[in-house]
Amino acid sequence: MLIGPDAPIAFESKLRGSHMAHVYDFYKPNLASEYPVVDGKLSQTCYLMALDACYKYFCHKFEKLEGKQFSINDAEYFVFHSPYNKLVQKSFARLVFNDFTRNASSVDEAGKEKLAPFASLTGDESYQNRDLEKASQQVAKPLYDAKVQPTTLVPKQVGNMYTASIYAAFASLIHNKHSALNDKRVILFSYGSGLTATMFSLRLREGQHPFSLSNIASIMNVGEKLKSRHEFPPEKFVEIMQLMEHRYGAKDFVTNKDCSLLAPGTYYLTEVDSMYRRFYAKKPKEAPCENGAVANGH
């Protein structure tokens, strides 16, 4: 991350709402395994509760600062920590439901009518109610298409990137909308299991070359990177995952040193010796690999 004056992406540091709680929703207690222990239902409820809490503090800060009620319409885009897209849809619908209960301007009369049956649910009930989920997603649909859909490209195409997912979503937005982001507010919701969450706000502007949004979009080159991916049959994927599980934390092995699919300049593991010491090689810039394959990275 580069920090400097006249940034094209600036934090609105007074607009920030945070929430923490001690929960076992998604964690890695088994150090010998690469995989986490996940309580899926709890994790989703925790995420939505954290979203509610952060949004509440965020709105409070905005209202103190600006002297008027905040609504979803006060931001152009919403970017979420994105383990899977369905949760992003639910989350944005949850913000719309929040605006409904707050009587904020983003929900029109038709929307209010659809959500009215759920107005008296307790918080706990509302997290489990499928009808509310469906109704609020319906009401949210036009706003979701305008304010969230442009942020979903990379998380949908790549799958769960964990910590990186919020920035993969933000990169998707810059990729899709770079020429239309000048002076726009973007609100991000960051979530880490365990848990700690923050909703924060960015103000974008085109900026000066080379630190302009259009140059950032061009250098990220998201479209080409997605296109340059390689397709594998599921059997090959399973085989690679099994090798990875077998070698996680292991010693005394050499890799096949096949770097044909790596980008030029990438470091890759060649060996872990009997003392667990790790050895790496670097793929040359546009030159043949050790196994004779020709470099074809991005």
| Binding-site entries for CoA | 43, 86, 90
Nearest 5 degrees, angle CA 35-CA 36-CA 42? 150
Q: Which residues have CB under 8 Å from 46's CB, separation 6+? A: 21, 23, 25, 193, 195
User: Do 61 and 14 meet the contact criterion of CB atoms below 8 Å apart?
Assistant: yes
Binding pattern to a copy of itself, positions 203-242, x when CB under 8 A?
----------------------------------------
Instruction: Report the DSSP pairing between strands 37-38 and 77-80.
Output: unpaired
Task: Select 121 or 269, whichever has its Cβ closest to a copy of itself.
Answer: 269
Q: Examine residue 86 and tell whether it contacts a copy of itself (CB under 8 A).
A: no
Q: Examine residue 35 and tell whether it contacts a copy of itself (CB under 8 A).
A: no
Active site residues: 81
Binding pattern to a copy of itself, positions 250-279, x when CB under 8 A?
-x-----------------------xxx--
Give dist(CA 68, CA 65) in Å, integer: 8
Taking CB under 8 A as the criterion, the residue among 10, 20, 37, 116 binding a copy of itself is: 37
Number of chain positions touching a copy of itself (CB under 8 A): 13
Q: Examine residue 282 and tell whether it contacts a copy of itself (CB under 8 A).
A: no
- List the structure tokens of 104: 């904020």
Q: Examine residue 294 and tell whether it contacts a copy of itself (CB under 8 A).
A: no
Q: Examine residue 27 and tell whether it contacts a copy of itself (CB under 8 A).
A: yes
Locate tokens 């909703």: which residue?
Answer: 199
Locate tokens 């997605």: which residue?
Answer: 226
Q: Examine residue 246 and tell whether it contacts a copy of itself (CB under 8 A).
A: no
- List the structure tokens of 113: 């009518």
Q: How far is CA 162 from CA 42, 90, 202, in A?
A: 17, 18, 21
Which residues make up the interface to a copy of itself (CB under 8 A)? 24, 27, 29-32, 37, 39, 249, 251, 275-277
